[in-house]
A and B are shown apart, each in its own frame.
Chain A
Amino acid sequence: MGSKKQTLTGARILWECLEREGVKTVFGYPGGAILPAYDALQHSSIRHILVRHEQGATHMADGYARATGSVGVAVATSGPGATNMVTGIATAMMDSSPILCITGQVGSKLLGSDAFQETDITGVTLPITKHNYLVTRPDDIAPAVREALYVAKSGRPGPVLIDITKDAQQGTCELDFEGAAPKMRGYRPDLSPASDAYDKALAMIAAAKKPVILAGHGIAVSGAEREVQAFAERACIPVAMTLLGLGHLPASHVLNMGMMGMHGEAWVNKAIQEADLLLALGMRFDDRVTGNLKSYAPNAKKIHIDIDPAEINKNVKVDLALVGDLRKILLELLPRVAPASRSEWIERIHELKGDTAVRDIQNLPDNGHLYAAHVINDLWHETRGRDAIVVTDVGQHQMWEAQYYKHENPRSLITSGGLGTMGFALPAAIGAKVARPDADVWVVAGDGGFQMTMAEMATIVQENLKVNIAIINNGFLGMVRQWQEFFYERNYEATPLLNPNFAMLAQAYGIKSEVVKHRGDVVPAVRAARAHEGPALIDFQVEQEDTVYPMVAAGAALHDMIRRPSPIVETAEDE
Chain B
Amino acid sequence: MLHTFVVYVENKPGVLSRVVSLFRRRAFNIDSLTVGRTEKDDVSRMTIVTEADPDQARRIVANIYKLVNVLLVDDITGQPALLRDLSLIKVGATQETRSQVLDLANVFKARVLDIATESITVEMTGGEEKVDRFLELLNPYGLLEVVRTGVVAMRRGAKSPTVGSKAELTPASAEESDSVSHSV
Contacts and interface: CB of A to CB of B under 8 A. Distances in A.
A313 B14 contact: no
15 contacts: A126-B18, A126-B21, A131-B67, A134-B14, A184-B166, A185-B10, A185-B169, A186-B9, A186-B65, A186-B68, A197-B183, A309-B65, A310-B59, A320-B184, A321-B183
A322 B68 CA distance: 22
Interface string A97-133: 0000000000000000000000000110011001100
A41 B90 CA distance: 63
A310 B69 contact: no
Nearest to A160: B68
A193 B182 CA distance: 8
A137 to B, nearest CB: 13
Contacts of A317: 55
A312 B184 contact: yes
A197 B184 CA distance: 9
Contacts of B25: 127
A184 B69 CA distance: 8
Nearest to B61: A309
A323 interface: yes
B32 interface: no
A151 B67 CA distance: 11
Contacts of A321: 183-184
B10 A186 contact: yes
Contacts of B63: 310
A314 B59 contact: yes
Given A186-B9, A186-B169, A194-B181, 7 more contacts: A130-B66, A185-B10, A186-B72, A191-B182, A309-B65, A312-B62, A323-B183
B122 interface: no
Interface residues of A, number: 29
Nearest to B166: A185
Contacts of A130: 66, 68
Given A127-B21, A127-B25, A323 B72 contact: no
A20 interface: no
A187 interface: yes
Contacts of B184: 309, 312-313, 318, 320-321, 323
B15 to A, nearest CB: 10
A184 B183 contact: no
Interface in B42-94: 55, 58-59, 62-63, 65-72
Interface string A291-321: 0000000000000000011101110011011
Q: With a 10 A CB-CB cut-off, give which of B59, B71, B181, B184 has the most chain A CB atoms.
A: B184
A149 to B, nearest CB: 13
Contacts of B55: 313, 317
B17 interface: yes
B68 to A, nearest CB: 4
A308 B66 CA distance: 8
Contacts of A191: 182
Nearest to A156: B66
Contacts of A318: 184
Contacts of A185: 10, 71, 165-166, 169
A188 interface: yes
Contacts of B165: 185
Contacts of B68: 130-131, 151, 184, 186-187
Contacts of B14: 122, 134
Contacts of A322: 183
Contacts of B67: 131
Interface in B149-175: 165-166, 169
Contacts of A197: 183
B23 to A, nearest CB: 11
Interface string A180-202: 00001111100101100100000
